[in-house]
Structure 1
Amino acid sequence: MSLSGTILAGLVICAGFFSFWVYSRLEIAISSWKWLATLRFVILSLVLVLIWDPLIPDSRMVSANGTRWVLVDGSQSMKSGTQSQIGPLSQIIGKIESLEDPPSRVLLFGETPRFIPVDSLDLVDFEDKSSELVPALISVAETGGSQVLVLTDFRIDDARDVDSYGQKYGLDIEFERVQLDRRNVGVKDFVIYRSDSSDESLFARATIFSEGILDGEQIEVQIFEEENLVAEEAISPISEGNTSSVEISLPASKNTDLVMYKLVVRIAGDEFQLDDQKRTYFDSTHSGNDIVFLSFQPDWEPRFLLPALKNVSGLSIEGFLKLSNEQFLNINDVETDDMITTENDVREAVANSGILVVHGLSENVPGWVMDTLVTERPSLIFVENGTVGNMFGISTQENVVEGEWYLEENLKPSPLAATLSDIDFGSLSPLSTVLPLTGSSNHVAPLESRQNGLGQVQPPLVLVNNAEERKVLVLAAGFWRWASRGGSSGIAYRRLWSAVFGWLMASDAMGNTGLVEPEFRIWGEDDLVLWETPGLVGSNVNLVISENDSVISDTTIVINGEGQFVTQELTPGNYNYRAVAVENGDLLGDGRFSVENHSLEWLTRPGDLRSIKNDQGIAISGSGNFNRPLHTFVSPYLILILLLAMEWIGRRQGGLR
């Protein structure tokens, strides 16, 4: 017996004990209680079996005239240029009418299967954004169908699964291709980039595809900056099912803010407009990385901290590990051709950064790093020894103390408390070293730790909040252990640095207009918009979304424990947003984003679906057997209703409620 069958048997036995216990212990004693308990036991057992939903062998007969289910592809790839009867609908209706026994309704598949009367086929608009056949095949099998005719353009998203499901349910599937001689050109993706942070030149890279275009014709590619045409180029057609990458040089932008670019591809007689254009945003004022990470000590921490900071802050980040001879190793996630970087390039990156992270700070680091840290720039600093502590107004021992430093479960009052309040610090791995404070400090220590869980408490990090600067001094090592364990420990790791960076980003030096931002600047029409709010966990934020000076949404949100929230889907268009703190009215974020209705349905290469039918070899000529889920039979529900009625009558006759 399988594990699921054993569990079912155990639940049925429990149902029997429960039924007899209820009637023997809780109900009023009557002479027919055993009979009623047995009825209750059978009812509960039947419900459990229905939930388990086993496959039941079933025989079915197929009529000699070849009656079959007709499935019609309802995805956007079936849409014709004119959307009239001369397109795919005429072929579909003609095929259905030619059947010996035409059905009264068809099953339209795409995103979700649904029935459509045949006389309403001319109203089908083919708007589904995916073409999933398997759910429709399951629906046919569960209703006892065996022969299926699928009318499609062969652009099926789950074509690889059709064979296995057809064999599982014993379906005889025939595919017939709806022939569409179409002309189309579309864009798959589109980005704007600057090859060198010191260069004002911009480049656009786009991936383009086409179908039904003759040799010798040209595809027109246009790029708009806001509403102004800034570049255009003509390219050759691309063979059906393939793509071509195009790179176009753009003039330097005169805008000093977030700029929207739009790429449009054109061809005479294009029959599908939902893939003709793509938008993207580019920050024309930002030439460097938001965060620069410098490590002067080989350690596990950068490996986990670098991606965590990128995720929790939503900012761009670049990392470097100090080598010898004034060289640094690029430690970003993406490998580049130049993994070794000179000190001058690193200094330039630091100068253009918004937040600086220094790991392994000691008296041996270059002087320009020290000079940068004493400026007003927000910084996260992992202090290596006590020599550099006095620079930031704290007094520590000269060397770190090794051991197992366990965090105290209770948080101290601090700006990080709201974000960290639901973390069980007592269950986290201990830190490996701590640099103990030797005197009192006016700075805030949000966390406390004890060596081996005993002795005097010491803070693993300190928040320095002077009039002109905000810095976080990390006096402990071994936080990476949390991330390496994953699960709740990994969540605690991300939550800690989310709180730290939210506090740093809220400083006057950094400005707080980027604390609330959409995760992406471009969203799909049916997408829920996800917003990132680092460091604002538990805060009340008022978000106003507008389009053309008309308010679309005005709502107040409480930020969840992950520092995120979600807003409803929007129709295609360009939107502005403004987020303010409910408590004090401070501006937390403002900017723009767009929603577009962009489809890649015509990019999918048509598959050879007839070969799938031939490989199945399950043609059913007269009769056949297959396994049918129990919940698709009517009889279990009729039996259940009958048993419930019998128990109700028996209880009333016995004087029970």
Structure 2
Amino acid sequence: MLTLLLILLATSLALVTYLRLESRGERTWVPMLFRAVAWGGLGALLANPSCPGPVDSRPPLVLLDASLSMVADTAHWRAADDTARALGRVRWFGDARPWTDSIPGRGRSDLGPSLASAVALGRRTVVVTDGELDDVSDVPADLLASSGFVVLPRTHGRDLAIRQVRAPARATVGDTIIVNVDLGSNGTAAAESVSVVVRAGPRVLGRVAAVVTPGASLPVRITVGTRGVAVGTQFLAVGIEGASDAEPRNDARLVAVDVSGTPGIVLLASPGDWDARFLYRALRDVADLPVKGFVRLEGDRWRDMEGLALVGTSSVRAAAAGADLLVLRGEAPGMWDGTRAKGVLRWPAAGPSVGEWYAAGASVSPIALAFLGVPVDSLPPITGVRVLTPGAGEWVGLTVQLARRGAARPVIVGRQVGGRREVVFGADGLWRWGFRGGPSADVYRAMIAATVSWLLAEPDRGMAEATVLQRVVAQGTPLTFERTSDSTVRLPVTFERQGEERHDTLRFGGDGRAVVWLEPGIYRYRIGGARGVTGTAAVDNWSREWLPRPGVVQSRAIPEAGAGERRTVRQWPWLYLLVL
């Protein structure tokens, strides 16, 4: 209607102009027609009327769930694939990687990015999935409402699974380690008795029986010994025995443990006191290396600080000799002669002092960040002080003042002697910082952590151009490497498994990380840069996609093909030329 009115108005104005205002002649009809067309086009551009576009006859764009849950034993992958191909053009979704295989293998079910891209194309969109999506709550409601869904849910039967495994990252040969396992059951009507087994290769390290209640999560604690386990990185297999369920691939998991021949950190406390106890606990909390503590309580008899079991003097001396970091609280003459430790922390007893000493300040030092953001004079007082005199080239980590007045005296001093680093503590009562809790305990832990980090540092430590962030990843999840230098853009890497090699390139993004997707297995990798490094990593057969989960979407009709996007006259470039 608006278009007809514009034509009539333009024609009328042209007639009035030529018949009333200008002279008439035989040839006036041609310019009058042109003027009517020009004014009609100008009116159309001003009014900008629109009309519907052509009906979208293209087949819908089908987003097919390519996560591992689609090929679980109780899933319907073949039916889902056939349905998707029958509906239209198929695109897979799940995670960010390109996928060229014909079998799903993605470790996540993220719909949002793929759905947003499909809707932006202006095509009808259909999602074919099992309903177990990870990010539906983050997807805008209008995108979900504009798409159709074909849901083929898994048939959740009886299933017993390992949900999580936790173990120490490091251990010493002969130690016992605690492996914590979380079990879960689904679809069972009665409690089930199973065995949880920890293996290092074919060797069984530990076994424990468990009774799992239907629908419940059961924590299981397994104590295993490392005697006879080879030194190096061991991938312990934690599995369920005696469970007959629908999905056996979630019945076992891998966990990496570095086994060393000697303790990484050895603490000798003579005698044992509160400072020794809090120091031992802090070392176990902040250090990545195995920690062994020995305390002399009566005469020359040494005991293990973990369980107070008697330990022979020769064993204590051997542990001190082989430690990477030796910590001495008090005096232990003759016990650490000939040690090969890279770092030594000496904390001699200061003895009683008159008055209370308060931390006065931390100068620039390797442990200065431990005191950042906390007023050091608010920390609990120190009970005793031994005067330390720093020499040339030595750093001071902490000073104290008597009653918050007077001269500041150093109580933490560090130095490097040849190839060994040493730190001396000259204050008693630092355990009060850890005992108070809150910011004081945080400062105490950070101080111990920073001291350990500096003592264990070597000139060549950290020189690798890239390191792997997590040594065991779930199936469908990439190994992630992080560069140590901002100038590194790409690095060649080789993965070897059972005699087969795969050559790849680590391409680091703006976040300094690069990912590599691998099939399940244990790999030895070699990064071939100028400062090449080797290591081991594993891709587990386990995946969270194998665990039964409730569906979060329902089947919904496929949107009908409607008219295309409306077009306005301002989208016609030729109309501008006609008006001109």
TM-score, normalising length from structure 2?
Answer: 0.52
Aligned partner of 2:479 among 524, 527, 530:
527
Aligned partner of 2:236 among 261, 266, 289:
261
Aligned partner of 2:551 among 595, 607, 615:
607
Residue 109 (structure 2) pairs with residue 131 (structure 1) = yes
Distance 2:117 2:528 in 1: 46
Report the alpha carbon displacement of residue 79 of structure 1 after superposing the two structures with TM: 2.4
Report the alpha carbon displacement of residue 609 of structure 1 after superposing the two structures with TM: 3.2
**Compared CA separation, residues 407 and 470, structure 1 to 2 (3 A):** closer
Structure 2 counterpart SS, 1:528: strand
Report the alpha carbon displacement of residue 603 of structure 1 after superposing the two structures with TM: 0.3
Alignment match, 1:445: 395
Distance 1:386 1:372 in 2: 22
Higher alpha-carbon Rg: 2
**Compared CA separation, residues 492 and 341, structure 1 to 2 (3 A):** closer
**Compared CA separation, residues 197 and 408, structure 1 to 2 (3 A):** closer
Report the alpha carbon displacement of residue 178 of structure 1 after superposing the two structures with TM: 1.0
Distance 2:308 2:227 in 1: 30
Residue 354 (structure 2) pairs with residue 380 (structure 1) = no
Check conservation: 1:400, 1:435, Cα contact below 8 A.
no
Check conservation: 1:185, 1:266, Cα contact below 8 A.
no
Distance 1:231 1:484 in 2: 39
Alignment match, 2:424: 473
1:541-597: CA deviations, max 9, x gaps?
A: x99977368797999xxxxxxxxx977647353226799997xxxxx9986443446
Check conservation: 2:198, 2:205, Cα contact below 8 A.
yes
**Compared CA separation, residues 435 and 73, structure 1 to 2 (3 A):** same
Structure 1 counterpart SS, 2:132: coil
**Residues 59-458 of structure 1 mapped to structure 2, 5 A cutoff:** 71-79=63-71, 86-93=78-85, 96=87, 104-105=88-89, 108-112=92-96, 125-136=103-114, 138-139=116-117, 149-161=126-138, 165-166=140-141, 171=145, 175-180=149-154, 187-190=162-165, 225-226=200-201, 228=202, 230=204, 254-258=228-232, 259-262=234-237, 275=250, 277-282=252-257, 290=265, 296-297=273-274, 310-311=285-286, 313-316=287-290, 354=323, 355=325, 376=339, 379-381=344-346, 385=350, 402=357, 405-409=360-364, 429-430=375-376, 435=385, 437=387, 441=391, 444-447=394-397, 458=409
1:163-210: CA deviations, max 9, x gaps?
A: xx42x668266654214558988654456789x999888887755678
Distance 1:461 1:234 in 2: 47
**Compared CA separation, residues 500 and 279, structure 1 to 2 (3 A):** same
TM-score, normalising length from structure 1?
Answer: 0.48
Distance 1:221 1:436 in 2: 53
Distance 1:203 1:424 in 2: 30
Report the alpha carbon displacement of residue 76 of structure 1 after superposing the two structures with TM: 1.6
Distance 2:60 2:257 in 1: 54
Structure 1's unaligned 5+ residue stretches are 1-59, 97-103, 324-329, 331-339, 362-366, 388-397, 537-541, 556-564, 583-587, 624-631, 639-657
Structure 2 counterpart SS, 1:156: coil
Structure 1 counterpart SS, 2:455: helix
Check conservation: 2:200, 2:235, Cα contact below 8 A.
yes
Residue 516 (structure 2) pairs with residue 573 (structure 1) = no
Q: How much identity, in percent, do the aligned residues show? A: 16
Report the alpha carbon displacement of residue 125 of structure 1 after superposing the two structures with TM: 3.3
Distance 1:306 1:385 in 2: 21
Structure 1 counterpart SS, 2:82: helix
1:54-113: CA deviations, max 9, x gaps?
A: xxxxxx99x999x9875432322112669998443124445x3xxxxxxx4356432259
**Compared CA separation, residues 498 and 224, structure 1 to 2 (3 A):** closer
1:120-143: CA deviations, max 9, x gaps?
A: 9xx753232111234455556666
Distance 1:543 1:497 in 2: 38
Distance 2:175 2:538 in 1: 25
Structure 2 counterpart SS, 1:609: coil
1:154 maps to a residue whose letter is G
Structure 2's unaligned 5+ residue stretches are 1-51, 298-303, 486-490, 507-511, 572-580
Check conservation: 2:282, 2:445, Cα contact below 8 A.
no
Structure 2 counterpart SS, 1:601: helix
Distance 1:502 1:400 in 2: 33
Report the alpha carbon displacement of residue 601 of structure 1 after superposing the two structures with TM: 0.4
Check conservation: 2:76, 2:152, Cα contact below 8 A.
no
Alignment match, 1:3: none
Distance 2:413 2:481 in 1: 35
Structure 2 counterpart SS, 1:88: helix
Alignment match, 2:6: none
2:110 maps to a residue whose letter is E
Distance 2:226 2:125 in 1: 58
**Compared CA separation, residues 593 and 633, structure 1 to 2 (3 A):** farther
1:391-415: CA deviations, max 9, x gaps?
A: xxxxxxx668745623445x6xxxx
Alignment match, 1:463: 414
1:518-556: CA deviations, max 9, x gaps?
A: 66542455132469x9xx9xxxxx99977368797999x
Report the alpha carbon displacement of residue 219 of structure 1 after superposing the two structures with TM: 9.5
Distance 2:273 2:566 in 1: 69
User: What value does the CA root-mean-square deviation take over the aligned residues?
Assistant: 7.3
Check conservation: 1:385, 1:399, Cα contact below 8 A.
no
Q: Across the two proteins, how many residue pairs are aligned to each other?
A: 473
**Compared CA separation, residues 201 and 492, structure 1 to 2 (3 A):** closer
Distance 1:256 1:467 in 2: 32
Residue 456 (structure 2) pairs with residue 505 (structure 1) = yes
Structure 1 counterpart SS, 2:69: helix
